[in-house]
Structure 1
């Protein structure tokens, strides 16, 4: 990989890092926000959910625009909007007596910005590299940046909140500014070889994709949503019980929350490096990772010992980390460049559905018992593993010059049912 492409990739990796910090950094601070604003656990969960809901709606539009006008022209304005949202939330929480609704408004702006930034990174990586091995390695780095942000964010959020509870809000525009500078300086979108399709032709091509490849695409969409649902739900649950049941607060709580995320980051990095261009390995990495996640969350129901709980969640994080790069690689390499931004944005939307649904659903489950939380997590994770096992079925690669090959086709499309 050339030096300039490495810098481009590192610059792109800053985007999911920024977006992850903008969301996950607030997880350990939510109980403090709940007390400061005198609101319910469900209301405080909306600070995560409103960010994600607007992203769900706008990500497909951002993906379509990135296919039409270029990835970079969508990413930079989106980062500016996300930074503006951070300023609104920071100012409201600092200066207003009753800032809850203004905080939600700022989070809404951040969601709008995030919808056009992080999801567009995946297809841009696919555009930048020709070989499947480089694409897989690049996506592994992007997913690792995403997960590294998840590891760093609870520690950083808890540390900042130890000074002022609203300080994590102010860090978001700073990170956005850094990312904007890096992308503007180092990222060059590949030039389009052809004129963009007309909208009617584009819709027909997308319909054809879902007609031919709908089964494995919808399976990946569903699995991505479930993984994020379980991850953010468990983090929300853990953030509350660490303080209420175990008396773990402040930076120490951030460090404890980072334990499963560290496993996720390490396994994601290794997985992205090892899967290469083998579609069967991608499928089995995803399936095994989900079975590990489901099995371990079931086992965790039998203990409330903090050390056993963290050990179990460490293994759960590793299972998630193995699955995510495989899903990214399958969907990015499985779609032609002309529709890649739109299809991968739909996948990102489904991941945000999980992020949006996790905290409020787990806020309700927490009222029942520890067992209900982990039985639900285990059951839905094993369901996702079954979907991966039975509906993602890689076949042998088609010969590049074989039947159905198109002129100029780089041969990246995985022959998936």
Structure 2
């Protein structure tokens, strides 16, 4: 009898291990599928940066006007992201993400058709880009709370968010290369690639991502708003600081990318694939830094603070030193160091948000955070276009000063050792 019981016990343990392994594999595939969303959204925006100079010539527009092809996408996203976050908290993450990916694809088709068929397509391209921004609002920002729903421990969440942030930055690495390559055929081809990428992401989400069966019942709207207000009141110092840091890091990143793309083409006469490969160097460093940081930080919020602080200080120094020389390889080396600084900071900021906010409010709060990051994305190119004309020799001091403000906010406002018990933070 004991022998039979032992055999049954062994079989039960094996079955349990097998189920656990299958669940782990399924979750791994689900996270990889979800990672396709930030990849697609980043490609849909950053892929156009190396093509902006070409668009200026083809559409007969100024640098400032071309910067709005990037900016309009972000402006629309900024407005709609909080609404998408609220909806995802109430009707479910996938029910918001999948229609949003469809809208993004339609926006890409409109912009592509305008560039292909219209004689003066600039305004129609902006309409297509605005639709893409509307789709982006309901896709990328919902990824963070979806990861928070899928995993129980902070370690699993921070590790998965590291992969998500890596996918986002991988998109930035591939963007200049792919954008320059596709535009080498026809300048509007990058727009046509967007619906193709969206379709792939939709299929992955439909078949490989299963959201948790047990979802909390959505609380009434008034009670929900009161709860969100209470969350902001109780966590105002670190939460608002992370919002501000997110804006600054994205503003600096997209300002630098716009400047670098313009300088490589107009000063060094480097175009097409070669320009894309050079732009990819600092972005590849950013990507690798994000991936490594996501693996290392785990649940250690004190470590997250200091990694963020050191990363931003690296960014401050690298941009300030640019004032001493503007030779191409010196410039690329410093931007690469700055990219590492941004790369180590972003997964830490993501993890602070997802692990510091109650699950039923996570979609809304993380969406507001994503909205803040989009402000930086939207403002970077047009502000840099103005600075390159009016303050050509001092823009790097301005960006360095902004980054220093982010470092000071990290040092003084984010105090996880004192808040470890408050609201899960």
Instruction: Work out whether the TM-score is over 0.5.
Output: yes
The equivalent of 1:257 in structure 2 is: 279
State the Cα deviation string for residues 152-185 of structure 1 (Å, max 9, x = none). 0000000111111111010000000000000000
- When the two chains are superposed, the root-mean-square deviation of aligned CA atoms in Å is 1.2
Work out which of the residue numbers 25, 30, 38 in structure 1 matches 2:60: 38
The equivalent of 1:3 in structure 2 is: 25
SS of residue matched to 1:247? coil
The equivalent of 1:69 in structure 2 is: 91
| Cα pair 1:301 1:370 within 8 Å, conserved | no
The equivalent of 2:424 in structure 1 is: 413
The answer on 1:128 being equivalent to 2:139 is no
TM, length-normalised to structure 2: 0.93
State the Cα deviation string for residues 280-338 of structure 1 (Å, max 9, x = none). 01111111111110111000111011111100001000000000000000011100110
State the Cα deviation string for residues 190-247 of structure 1 (Å, max 9, x = none). 1344321000000110010011001111000000011000000110111111111111
Work out which of the residue numbers 346, 354, 360 in structure 1 matches 2:382: 360
The equivalent of 2:71 in structure 1 is: 49
1:194-209 → structure 2 map (5 Å cutoff): 194-209=216-231
The equivalent of 1:12 in structure 2 is: 34
Unmatched 5+ stretches in structure 1? 405-411
The equivalent of 1:300 in structure 2 is: 322
| Partner Cα distance (1:167, 1:279) in 2 | 44
Work out which of the residue numbers 280, 289, 292 in structure 2 matches 1:267: 289
Alpha-carbon offset, residue 189 of structure 1: 1.3
The answer on 1:109 being equivalent to 2:127 is no
State the Cα deviation string for residues 235-290 of structure 1 (Å, max 9, x = none). 01111111111111111000111111011000000010000100001111111111
| Partner Cα distance (1:126, 1:144) in 2 | 17
The equivalent of 2:17 in structure 1 is: none
SS of residue matched to 1:395? helix
| Partner Cα distance (1:121, 1:49) in 2 | 22
The answer on 1:223 being equivalent to 2:245 is yes
SS of residue matched to 1:381? helix
* Structure 1 stretches of 4+ moved >4 Å: 396-399
| Partner Cα distance (1:59, 1:242) in 2 | 34
| Cα pair 1:13 1:145 within 8 Å, conserved | yes
| Partner Cα distance (2:177, 2:349) in 1 | 28
SS of residue matched to 1:301? helix
The equivalent of 2:344 in structure 1 is: 322
| Partner Cα distance (1:334, 1:369) in 2 | 40
| Partner Cα distance (1:248, 1:341) in 2 | 42
Give aligned pairs, total: 403
SS of residue matched to 1:39? coil
| Cα pair 2:81 2:371 within 8 Å, conserved | yes
Query: Which protein has the larger Cα radius of gyration, Structure 1 or Structure 2?
Result: 2
State the Cα deviation string for residues 10-67 of structure 1 (Å, max 9, x = none). 0000000000000000000000001100001110000000000000000000000000
| Cα pair 2:88 2:363 within 8 Å, conserved | yes
| Cα pair 2:216 2:360 within 8 Å, conserved | no
TM, length-normalised to structure 1: 0.95
Work out which of the residue numbers 95, 99, 104 in structure 1 matches 2:121: 99
1:261–1:398 distance in 2 versus 1, CA, 3 Å: closer
The equivalent of 2:399 in structure 1 is: 377
